[in-house]
């Protein structure tokens, strides 16, 4: 070989070696340089599931993502992806999350303290008007939802990056975009607590509470910048892939109502800056607008709709496959990129300490007594979230958060509890209304003022007032005796006026007498709470009053009476929902004795029990109830008679229409979930059999009544609403309307 050819051949050797040898790392391939790619993800509620479809196509095309900025739902998807979660993992999370549940601040009823469970059986609406005791002001909560449950969900999925404070240190550098509600400008969040930043980005005003962060009050980023193109550009992106899933504006013919007008204003508000951001895109950038239309709306958080959104997003990305292929990297380089952003395997941390940041008037012990995380044990997220729920269920807190921190080589859990900023004391209202075919109507309007905490152990003072058929006023003080609320005492006093009608048996047309019973007195009680599922109590009741005959048979007179009683009661309540239960038990058993030595006019005993079991299968809910109360010797005075009548308590008859020495009821109920979306709506029916009897010997099948009802129930954000029709034997019919009141009276 000639020397010149040999020299050329030697020059070609490195080239052949390079072609035959795969690249081990991007760092070792110093000659390789590619443009950096930034991903801008817009907000749009449930439509944001389309972002996952886009990400899936980018991965298929070997397109690396160097920067991510997201707004609202885009910040959720972007933040999870930047933390190291895969597309499949995020998709599964979207399906698994019970969105209708987290868009509520109510803790699972099973986790609420027993004191708060009792409140459910009043007819007060769920929403409470706050009272600032220090300033003497009446305030509404800053939003319908404080985001307590949503925060827990975010922290669970973002736990592997809980120690990251600089968002550039995530697997992919990330920015969450929120809006400073004071200035109206975009707030680009690049550091701090990641779950809080994401929650701020999607805090829709008036729906989700604003987030205090970096001395700013932050709300949904869509107001100021719904498509953060400029943000990823400032992060360093040479090329931007922008995904716009924002809700389109309505056409002229579609604007027909005030709600349509509000939706249009919202769309226009977010659209203005979005158009500016889109206009900034260059020929190198890629704009993807998935054709969601009205197939997936911003509120379609049902799993089926979310998966449909993913598919539409995937189709939208594939429509730009020619543009996107220009951004692809070689398979070997993409493998190296994927390894570089893969999160390291993280062992479950062992907790060395628990620290409390208590911003309330309650003692630290009230909080720590409900925390079961023990130093020296591995972190159990399920138990920790249950602990957080029990703390939040004290009903004093605006938020209860946790974070995992590293300090001096030790891992600890920090629990931050912030008192309600709008006031821990509360005012509630309620309404019940019914009308029967006999011309009887029944209505009550009630209000309750609850002042809490009265002290560091969460004592509370409540005053309840009612006008209508049963006017009353009652005030009581409730005091836990230990931080865990195992033991308690309470004392109350009040006045009530109610009507008692005496019939000839169960003949609704043969009323013998009508009395108006007024009584005034006090009640002293104490007992032990059995966790949050039950209670044993001992109470002393002392009343004085009179029963005035308003109509009826001559020979029945006005009655003055004194009452003095001791009562021992066991109460159990594990229902998941008091108005629309799908699982659990509710019941009581008690014994009561009246004695002249206690201040009563006569000696007698009474006892009673009730047991209700709820279950479900799919969208079908059902429950059964057995109830009885009685006086063994048939000698209880008028004021101690038991009553039945009203919706689901012998439907078709008036409220408490029948009164007697004994009362019993068997009831079966069925409800069907209409699956209407975020507002749970049910149609249902009851079948009832029972009666009220003056003598124990009168209790029989023949002396009982069949009744039933049909109803529509809606579980609204302020409480349950019922519209029902009832029918009882003898052609008795009734129409019932309740706001805030469940129909389970026992």
Q: Which residues are catalytic?
A: 72, 220
* CA distances to 95, 97, 104, 608 from 100, in Å: 12, 9, 7, 38
How many other C-beta atoms can be found within 10 angstroms of the C-beta atom of residue 522?
A: 13
- Quote the CA–CA distance of 685 and 171 in Å, as a whole number: 55
Round to whole Å and give the CA distance between 561 and 500: 15
Per the DSSP assignment, residues forming a β-bridge with 626 are 611, 666
- Residue bearing tokens 């400029």: 230
Is residue 147 within 8 A of residue 209, CB to CB? The reply is yes
* 688 contacts 665 by C-beta, under 8 angstroms: yes
The contacts of residue 210 (CB under 8 Å, 6+ apart) are 142, 143, 181, 200, 203, 217, 218, 219
Q: Are 77 and 90 in contact (CB under 8 A)?
A: yes
User: What b/e sequence results for 655-694 when a residue is b if at least 16 CB atoms lie within 10 Å of its CB, and e otherwise?
Assistant: bbbbbbbbbbbebebebebeeeeeebbbebbbebbbbbbb
Preceding omega of 708 cis (within 30 degrees of 0): no
Contacts of 186 (CB under 8 A, 6+ apart): 177, 178, 179, 180, 221, 224, 225, 228
Strands (E), 142-213: 174-180, 186-189, 211-213
Q: Give the dihedral of Cα atoms 120, 121, 123, 127; nearest 10 deg.
A: 0
**DSSP H or E stretch at residue 267:** helix 258-279
Q: Report the alpha-carbon distance of residue 210 to residue 103 in Å, rounded.
A: 15
User: What count of Cα atoms within 13 Å lies in the side-chain half-sphere of residue 479?
Assistant: 10
Report in angstroms the alpha-carbon separations of 26 from 135, 330, 449. 62, 11, 67
Distance CA 205, CA 203 (A): 6
For residue 600, list its beta bridge partners.
Answer: none
- Count the neighbouring beta carbons within 10 Å of the beta carbon of residue 225: 27
Q: How far is CA 148 from CA 159, 211, 369, 399, 470, in A?
A: 16, 12, 20, 6, 38
Distances (CA, A) of 180 to 203, 222, 235, 421, 643: 11, 11, 20, 19, 57
- CA pair distance 403, 408, nearest whole angstrom: 16
DSSP string, 536-588: EEEEEEEEEEEEEEEEE-TT---EEEEEEEEEEEEEEE--S-SSS-SSEEEEE
User: 431: how many CB neighbours lie within 10 A of its CB?
Assistant: 18
Q: Is 170 helix (H, G, I), strand (E, B) or coil?
A: coil
Q: Following CA atoms 54, 59, 60, 61 in sequence, which dihedral angle do they give, to the nearest 10 degrees?
A: 90
- Tell me the helices (H) and strands (E) count for the chain, helix number first: 15, 31
DSSP state of 27: T
């Amino acid at each position: 070989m000639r020397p010149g050819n040999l020299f050329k051949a030697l020059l070609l050797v490195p080239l052949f070696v390079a072609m035959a040898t795969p690249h081990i790392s991007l760092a070792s391939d110093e000659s390789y340089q590619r443009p950096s790619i930034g991903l801008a993800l817009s907000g749009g509620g449930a439509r944001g599931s389309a972002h996952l479809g886009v990400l899936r196509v980018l991965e298929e095309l070997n397109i690396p993502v160097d920067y991510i900025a997201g707004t609202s739902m885009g910040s959720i998807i972007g933040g999870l992806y930047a933390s190291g979660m895969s597309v499949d993992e995020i998709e599964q999370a979207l399906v698994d999350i019970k969105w209708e549940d987290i868009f509520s601040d109510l803790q699972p009823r099973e986790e609420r303290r027993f004191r708060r469970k009792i409140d459910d059986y009043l007819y007060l609406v769920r929403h409470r008007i706050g009272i600032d005791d220090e300033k003497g002001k009446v305030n509404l909560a800053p939003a319908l939802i404080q985001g307590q449950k949503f925060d827990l969900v975010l922290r669970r999925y973002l736990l592997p990056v809980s120690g990251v404070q600089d968002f550039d240190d995530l697997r992919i550098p990330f920015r969450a975009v929120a809006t400073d509600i004071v200035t109206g400008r975009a707030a680009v969040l690049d550091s701090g607590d990641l779950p809080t930043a994401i929650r701020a980005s999607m805090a829709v005003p008036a729906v989700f509470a604003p987030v205090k962060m970096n001395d700013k009050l932050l709300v949904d980023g869509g107001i100021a910048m719904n498509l953060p193109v400029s943000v990823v550009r400032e992060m360093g992106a040479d090329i931007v892939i922008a995904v716009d899933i924002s809700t389109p504006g309505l056409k002229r013919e579609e604007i027909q109502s005030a709600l349509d007008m509000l939706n249009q204003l919202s769309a226009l508000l977010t659209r203005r800056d979005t158009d500016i951001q889109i206009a900034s895109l260059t020929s190198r950038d890629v704009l993807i607008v998935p054709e969601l239309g009205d197939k997936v709306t911003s509120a379609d958080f049902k799993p089926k709709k979310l998966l449909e959104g993913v598919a539409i997003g995937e189709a939208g990305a594939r429509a730009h496959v020619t543009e996107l292929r220009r951004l692809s990297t070689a398979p070997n380089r993409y493998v190296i990129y994927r390894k570089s952003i893969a999160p390291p395997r993280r062992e479950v941390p062992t907790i060395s300490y628990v620290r409390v940041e208590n911003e309330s008037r309650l003692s630290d012990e009230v909080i720590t007594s409900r925390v079961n995380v023990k130093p020296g044990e591995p972190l159990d997220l399920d138990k920790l979230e249950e602990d957080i729920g029990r703390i939040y269920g004290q009903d004093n807190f605006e938020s209860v958060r946790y974070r995992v921190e590293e300090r001096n080589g030790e891992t600890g859990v920090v629990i931050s509890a912030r008192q309600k900023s709008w006031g821990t004391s509360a005012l509630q209202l309620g309404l019940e209304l019914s009308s029967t075919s006999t011309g009887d109507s029944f209505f009550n309007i009630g209000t309750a003022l609850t002042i809490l905490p009265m002290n560091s152990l969460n004592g509370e003072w409540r005053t309840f007032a009612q006008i209508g058929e049963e006017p009353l006023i009652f005030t009581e003080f409730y005091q836990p005796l230990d931080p865990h609320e195992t033991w308690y005492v309470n004392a109350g006093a009040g006045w009530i006026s109610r009507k008692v009608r005496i019939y000839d048996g169960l003949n609704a047309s043969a009323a013998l007498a009508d009395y108006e019973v007024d009584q005034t007195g006090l009640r002293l009680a104490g007992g032990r709470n059995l966790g949050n599922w039950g209670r044993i109590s001992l109470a002393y009741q002392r009343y004085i009053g009179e029963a005035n005959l308003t109509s009826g048979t001559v020979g029945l007179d006005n009655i003055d009476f004194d009452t003095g009683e001791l009562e021992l009661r066991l109460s159990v309540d594990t229902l998941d929902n008091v108005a629309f239960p799908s699982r659990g038990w509710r019941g009581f058993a008690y014994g009561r004795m009246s004695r002249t030595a206690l201040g009563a006019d006569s000696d007698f005993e009474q006892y009673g029990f009730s047991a209700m079991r709820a279950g479900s299968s799919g969208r079908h809910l059902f429950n059964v109830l057995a109830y009885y109360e009685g006086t063994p010797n048939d000698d209880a005075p008028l004021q101690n008679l038991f009553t039945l009548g009203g919706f689901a308590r012998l439907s078709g008859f008036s409220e408490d229409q029948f009164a007697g020495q004994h009362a019993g009821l068997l009831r079966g109920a069925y409800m069907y979930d209409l699956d209407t979306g975020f507002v749970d709506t049910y149609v249902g029916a009851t079948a009832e059999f029972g009666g009220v009897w003056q003598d124990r010997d009168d209790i029989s099948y023949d002396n009982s009544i069949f009744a039933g009802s049909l109803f529509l129930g809606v579980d609204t954000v302020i409480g349950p609403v019922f519209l029902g029709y009832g029918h009882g034997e003898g052609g008795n019919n009734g129409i019932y309307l309740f706001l805030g009141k469940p129909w389970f009276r026992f």
